[in-house]
């Protein structure tokens, strides 16, 4: 019995040497540093050194095992070599490096290639063995393609289709898709940051990778749509020294951007990292800008020497504001021509007051001056064809108007968003993650995320008038504010059991999410406010009466006026509604719309969920089985309304005590606040099952079925159950004890309720459902030189909760907008009393997609992906009767923004020899077939209406490393839309024209 070194010592020393050699090779071989590879090798090297030190401390441990005789070979191990997968530990060598079950790192990754992901299953798994279609955009890929937004992410997703209007859209609420982008033909609301729902502002400055799951992943991420999940994974501190970077960029639109990424190893068990960015950019159009500041400090600590517990703390703070052009010139030329010379055919179908006017032509000009809709209705009536499309011309980025010399000109830089428009985001996210592996059979993760998100915007569209000179500068003008404060708790437990040759993992967990979501109530009835507009204090001829007490002050001298081309003084309203870009300075929307308003409305739900997942590997790890189930419950607590802070704040249940909280005093609507859906507890579930089988070690096949849901609530009639008796009595009183309702004489409250019940008004709404069935093939051929996924799928979305405008119309629902059933000024008069909803919509998508990462040699990489969606249609919608002209167009056209074909190519080649060693060249291509903008008669896709898609766009990039005084630099030039092509993505607004960004990065 004597001390002797364990075999692990020699093995650990050998691995340290191998790791160090690989590190030295990577940093010196090509002249260009692959930062991702260097970082990974440095982390592994540091971890191996820590393990070596730990093993060497134990080399004097005694053992009862006899020392082998000299020359005796150690006992050979039997059985197949273990598979290299993520899990409780890497299997490259026993006990060398312990990783959390939730980690996704692997020695196979470099450049564009990522072989592991956690988004589909919450556990780090090899993509090769997950029976779902998963793609990962690495940091290198994001950098080379210039991805900066969720729109960019969708541009390079195989079955994705972006929406170039998304940036200026309101975020709405958690269950509502944001923007019109689609994946696998369905809109997306499951946008995540580190696997937690992100409300708004999808910042990529601090992102290490983007994981994309095609098809539902609701088992782990909650209710959503069948298209899939997009998860941003942020950069974390490294326990080994990795390169720090400082990047400065300029672009051809005169803008500056700075990015910093700095990692500090505090000791062998703690590291700190800070990632930040600042930008001040301008755009192609007038008044466009984008300002952004964000910083994300984070800390990683291993409290214990064994590394079995890891704590990560992260804080993200972001402030941004921007203005982007949000429309395009799609106006029909005939509208302007018919204003200049009103045709007799249109006057003949106009209202009687126009036809009988002293000057019918002038009366008709007044009818269509600021109403393209009136002109379009008359045009269709004159042709006897209600299906004529309104928008047929190819849109242009700028606009046409008449300059000061009276010439019709095209202004390419015209910004359709008012110069005062802007989105203002402020976001603070705190996230704490604790990973623990207390036993070989147990891993755990607890995550707490606190997010405070504020979204404010001024919104107004410049819209032309028919005279060809003036614009309404505040068309649709308003402000909005959406605020969400969320506390999110999530616990995951992974139990590992091996029995009868089957390796089992059981993942179970739960979520508790409590949040407050509020928004500024609409102020359209009190705005715009013209108190600061020139002409407000003007007392001259033609000036409208100014409200008493307001004509003095407001810093508008009485001699400040705006004149039209004829020299007439314009009223404040005309300054905005008849803005003439040929002679006027553009008025600004933020002068006349208040940002902060008295009414702040919202809700405060509690969301709870639990889930369980089973993973198994058997048949020498060739067969992987996966199954999961999730149950989710939402508890509503009423309407959270601030009617006038701090004096009038009704409690959430004020509708039940209207005597103490009168609605006309506290400014809430009993029909909304008393709606059962504001006090209900609703639940739904999702589940999935799949398998993956290795035909060979490099080729596997898989099949999966997954089901998702979205919570619906309320009743089909959508009326106020608390106030329905009073509403019926109001009608009875006005009718002298009875009234006629759809041919029936109603004489009592009970009778009317029975009628409404027979119409289905009381029917509870079922949850929305979605499903996906999929089969596919995955490869990792020739030592992962070709890593790919090919899949066939069929997705379905049904029971979508939609307002039925036909059923709500006065002709179908006499209680809505009625001026005859109720007395003026009484309950129910001229308002919507029933909100009829429909659930029968069924959308179906069928198709195939592929994703390939091709790395034939170390210094060349390519990503090739695409899709063929041969079916994208609505198969049922009870709102529209079959056989009508609208139904024929609606059911006979593809779903909006779902191209039949998509193809993307991204590739990069780096020279390793000659004088240009380190030079990298890249060329990217994106193709989309034609897509439907809207299934409406205005865009009628069956009659030559305006369509999107049908484009091929090329981008390019070039980078070169260089040194000065021993410092390592790299300069990159990225050129987007090389051919300056005008093309449409998801809507009628052209995407960005050609632009370039020049960046220089210092690595130290």
With a CB cutoff of 8 Å and minimum separation 6, the contacts of 872 are 185, 844, 845, 847, 894, 895, 898, 900
Give the CB-side neighbour count of residue 789, counting CA atoms within 13 A: 31
**Per-residue model confidence as pLDDT tens digits over 60-104:** 333 333 333 333 333 333 333 333 333 333 333 333 334 578 777
The per-residue pLDDT for 1 is 40
Residue 604 confidence (pLDDT) above 70: yes
Residue 8 confidence (pLDDT) above 60: no
The per-residue pLDDT for 712 is 87
Residue 113 confidence (pLDDT) above 70: yes
Mean pLDDT of 726-739: 94
**Per-residue model confidence as pLDDT tens digits over 929-947:** 999 999 999 999 999 999 9
The per-residue pLDDT for 549 is 42
**What would the DSSP string read from start to end of 117-140?**
ESTTTSS-EEGGGSSSEEEEEEHH
Residue 56 confidence (pLDDT) above 80: no
More confident residue, 373 or 558: 373
The per-residue pLDDT for 419 is 94
The per-residue pLDDT for 254 is 78
**Per-residue model confidence as pLDDT tens digits over 254-268:** 789 999 999 999 999
Which of 129, 197, 897 has the alpha carbon at shortest distance from 607? Answer: 197
Confidence bin at 3 (pLDDT 50/70/90): very low
Helix-helix angle 35-57:7-28, to 10 degrees: 160
Confidence bin at 852 (pLDDT 50/70/90): very high
Polymer length of the chain: 1004
User: Distance between CA 819 and CA 42 in Å, rounded?
Assistant: 77
Residue 817 confidence (pLDDT) above 60: yes
The per-residue pLDDT for 719 is 85
* % pLDDT > 90, the chain: 62
With a CB cutoff of 8 Å and minimum separation 6, the contacts of 153 are 137, 147, 160, 210, 212, 230
The per-residue pLDDT for 6 is 45
**Per-residue model confidence as pLDDT tens digits over 124-168:** 888 889 999 999 999 999 999 999 888 899 999 999 999 887 777
With a CB cutoff of 8 Å and minimum separation 6, the contacts of 491 are 444, 445, 446, 447, 509, 510
Mean pLDDT of 871-889: 94
The per-residue pLDDT for 908 is 96
Look up residue 984 and give its two tokens: 């449409």
More confident residue, 983 or 32: 983
User: Distance between CA 546 and CA 82 in Å, rounded?
Assistant: 84
Give the count of beta carbons closer than 10 Å to the beta carbon of residue 340: 10
Sign of CA dihedral 932, 938, 940, 941: negative
The three-state secondary structure class of 472 is strand
Confidence bin at 390 (pLDDT 50/70/90): very high
Which of 160, 169, 263, 109 has the alpha carbon at shortest distance from 787? Answer: 109
Look up residue 777 and give its two tokens: 């093939």
**Per-residue model confidence as pLDDT tens digits over 531-572:** 888 888 776 655 554 444 444 556 788 788 899 999 998 988
The per-residue pLDDT for 523 is 58
Classify burial at 40, counting beta carbons within 10 Å of its beta carbon; exposed 0-12, middle 13-18, buried 19 or more. Answer: buried
Residue 678 confidence (pLDDT) above 70: yes
User: Distance between CA 122 and CA 129 in Å, rounded?
Assistant: 14
Mean pLDDT of 201-221: 86
Confidence bin at 959 (pLDDT 50/70/90): very high
Residue 757 confidence (pLDDT) above 50: yes
Query: Which range, of 265-279, 516-530, 681-695, 753-767, averages the lowest pLDDT?
Result: 516-530
The three-state secondary structure class of 968 is strand
What's 927's DSSP letter?
E
* Bridging pattern class, strands 133-138 and 995-1003: unpaired
Q: What are phi and psi of 475, to 5 degrees?
A: -60, 125
User: Distance between CA 574 and CA 566 in Å, rounded?
Assistant: 14
- Burial pattern 838-851, b for ≥16 Cβ within 10 A else e, equals bbebbbbbbbbbbb
**Per-residue model confidence as pLDDT tens digits over 483-541:** 899 999 999 999 999 998 899 999 999 999 999 988 887 655 567 888 888 888 776 65
Look up residue 636 and give its two tokens: 């509503």
Look up residue 151 and give its two tokens: 């729109």
Confidence bin at 639 (pLDDT 50/70/90): confident
- Beta-strand ranges (E) seen in 534-680 are 600-603, 606-618, 623-635
**Per-residue model confidence as pLDDT tens digits over 305-359:** 988 999 999 999 999 999 999 899 999 999 999 999 999 999 999 999 999 999 9
The per-residue pLDDT for 53 is 54
Query: Which range, of 57-71, 168-182, 383-397, averages the lowest pLDDT?
Result: 57-71
The per-residue pLDDT for 24 is 47
Mean pLDDT of 292-301: 97
Q: Cβ distance 431 to 449 under 8 Å?
A: yes
Query: Which range, of 220-234, 808-822, 926-940, 968-982, averages the lowest pLDDT?
Result: 220-234
Helix-helix angle 372-383:360-368, to 10 degrees: 120
Q: What share of the chain is helix, strand, coil (3-state, %, to 5)?
A: 15, 40, 45
The per-residue pLDDT for 106 is 63
Alpha-carbon distance values, 345 to 361, 448, 661, 740 (Å): 12, 67, 57, 40
The per-residue pLDDT for 656 is 84
The rounded mean pLDDT for the chain is: 86
């Amino acid at each position: 019995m004597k001390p002797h070194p364990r075999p692990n010592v020699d093995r650990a020393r050998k691995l340290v040497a191998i790791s160090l050699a690989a590190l030295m090779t990577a940093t010196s071989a090509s002249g260009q540093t692959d930062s991702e590879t260097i970082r990974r090798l440095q982390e592994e090297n540091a971890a191996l050194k820590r393990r070596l030190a730990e093993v060497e401390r134990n080399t004097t441990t005694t053992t009862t095992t006899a020392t082998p005789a000299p020359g005796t070979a150690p006992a050979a191990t039997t059985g197949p070599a273990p598979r290299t997968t993520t899990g409780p530990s890497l299997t490259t060598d026993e006990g060398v490096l312990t990783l959390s079950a939730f980690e996704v790192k692997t020695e196979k990754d470099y450049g564009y290639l990522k072989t592991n992901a956690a988004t589909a299953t919450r556990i780090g798994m090899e993509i090769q063995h997950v029976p779902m279609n998963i793609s990962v955009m690495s940091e290198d890929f994001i950098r080379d393609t210039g991805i900066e937004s969720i729109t960019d992410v969708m541009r390079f997703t195989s079955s994705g289709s972006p929406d170039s209007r998304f940036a200026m859209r309101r975020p709405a609420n958690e269950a509502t898709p944001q923007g019109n982008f689609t994946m696998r033909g369905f809109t997306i609301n499951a946008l995540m940051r580190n696997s937690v729902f992100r409300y708004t502002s999808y910042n990529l400055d601090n992102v290490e990778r983007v994981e994309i799951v095609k098809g539902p992943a609701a088992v782990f991420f909650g209710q959503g749509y069948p298209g899939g999940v997009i998860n941003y994974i942020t950069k974390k501190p490294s326990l080994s020294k990795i390169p720090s970077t400082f990047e400065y960029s300029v672009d051809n639109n005169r803008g500056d951007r700075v990015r910093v990424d700095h990692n500090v190893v505090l000791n062998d068990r703690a590291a700190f990292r800070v990632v930040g960015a600042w930008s001040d950019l301008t755009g192609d159009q007038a008044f466009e800008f984008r300002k952004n500041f964000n910083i994300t400090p984070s800390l990683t600590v291993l409290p214990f020497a064994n590394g079995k517990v890891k704590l990560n703390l992260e804080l993200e703070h972001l402030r941004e504001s921007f203005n982007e052009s949000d429309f395009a010139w799609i106006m029909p030329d005939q509208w302007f021509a018919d204003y200049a010379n009103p045709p007799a055919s249109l006057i003949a179908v106009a209202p009687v007051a126009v036809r009988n006017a002293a000057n019918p032509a002038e009366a008709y000009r007044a009818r269509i001056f600021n109403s393209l809709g009136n002109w379009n209705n008359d045009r269709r009536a004159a042709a006897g064809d209600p299906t004529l499309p309104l928008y047929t011309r190819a849109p242009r980025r700028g606009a046409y108007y008449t300059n000061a010399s009276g010439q019709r000109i095209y202004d390419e830089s015209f910004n359709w968003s008012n110069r005062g428009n802007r989105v203002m985001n402020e976001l603070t996210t705190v996230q704490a993650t604790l990973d623990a592996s207390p036993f070989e059979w147990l891993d755990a993760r607890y995550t707490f995320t606190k997010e405070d998100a504020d979204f404010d915007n001024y919104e107004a569209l410049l819209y032309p008038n028919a005279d060809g000179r003036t614009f309404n500068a505040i068309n649709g003008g308003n402000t909005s504010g959406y605020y969400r404060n969320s506390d999110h708790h999530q616990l995951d437990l992974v139990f590992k059991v091996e029995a009868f040759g089957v390796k089992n993992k059981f993942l179970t967990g739960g979520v508790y999410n409590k949040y407050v979501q509020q928004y500024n109530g609409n102020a359209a009835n009190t705005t715009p406010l013209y108190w600061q507009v020139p002409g407000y204090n003007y007392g001259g001829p033609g000036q409208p009466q100014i409200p008493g007490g307001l004509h003095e002050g407001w810093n508008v001298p009485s001699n400040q006026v705006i004149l039209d081309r004829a020299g007439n003084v314009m009223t404040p309203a005309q300054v905005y509604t008849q803005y003439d870009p040929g002679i006027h300075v553009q008025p600004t929307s933020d002068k006349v719309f208040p940002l902060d308003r008295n009414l702040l409305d919202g809700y405060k739900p509690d969301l709870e969920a639990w889930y369980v997942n089973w993973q198994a590997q058997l048949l020498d790890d060739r067969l992987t089985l996966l199954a999961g189930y999730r149950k989710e419950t939402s508890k509503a607590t009423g309407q959270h309304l601030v009617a006038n802070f701090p004096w009038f704040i009704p409690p959430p249940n004020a509708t039940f005590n209207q005597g103490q909280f009168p609605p006309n005093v506290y400014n809430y609507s009993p029909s909304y606040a008393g709606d059962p859906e504001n006090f209900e507890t609703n639940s739904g579930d999702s589940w999935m099952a799949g398998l993956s089988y290795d035909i060979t070690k490099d080729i596997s096949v898989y099949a999966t079925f997954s089901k998702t849901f979205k919570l619906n609530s309320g009743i089909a009639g959508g009326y106020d159950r608390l106030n329905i008796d009073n509403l019926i009595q109001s009608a009875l009183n006005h009718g002298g004890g009875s009234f006629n309702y759809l041919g029936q004489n109603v004489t009592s409250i009970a009778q009317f309720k029975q009628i409404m019940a027979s119409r289905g008004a009381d029917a509870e709404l079922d949850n929305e459902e979605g499903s996906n069935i999929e089969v596919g093939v995955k490869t990792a051929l020739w030592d992962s030189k070709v890593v790919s996924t090919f899949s066939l799928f069929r997705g379905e979305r049904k029971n979508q909760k939609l307002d039925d405008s036909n059923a709500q119309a006065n002709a179908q629902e006499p209680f809505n907008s009625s001026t005859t059933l109720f007395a003026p000024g009484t309950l129910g008069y001229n308002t919507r009393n029933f909100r009829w909803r429909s659930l029968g919509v069924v959308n179906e998508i069928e198709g195939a997609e592929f994703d390939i990462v091709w790395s034939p040699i170390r210094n060349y990489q390519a990503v090739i992906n695409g899709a063929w969606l041969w079916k994208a249609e609505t198969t049922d919608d009870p709102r529209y009767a079959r056989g009508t002209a609208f139904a024929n167009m609606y059911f006979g056209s593809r779903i909006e923004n779902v191209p039949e074909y998509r193809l993307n190519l991204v590739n990069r080649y780096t020279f390793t020899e000659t004088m240009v060693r380190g030079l990298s060249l890249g060329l990217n291509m994106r193709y989309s077939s034609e897509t439907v903008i809207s299934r409406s008669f205005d865009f009628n896709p069956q009659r030559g209406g305006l369509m999107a898609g049908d484009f091929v766009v090329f981008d390019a990039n070039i980078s070169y490393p260089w040194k000065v005084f021993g410092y390592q630099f790299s300069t990159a030039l990225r050129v987007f839309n090389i051919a300056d092509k005008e093309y449409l993505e998801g809507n009628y607004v052209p995407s960005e024209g050609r632009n370039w960004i020049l960046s220089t990065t210092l690595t130290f």
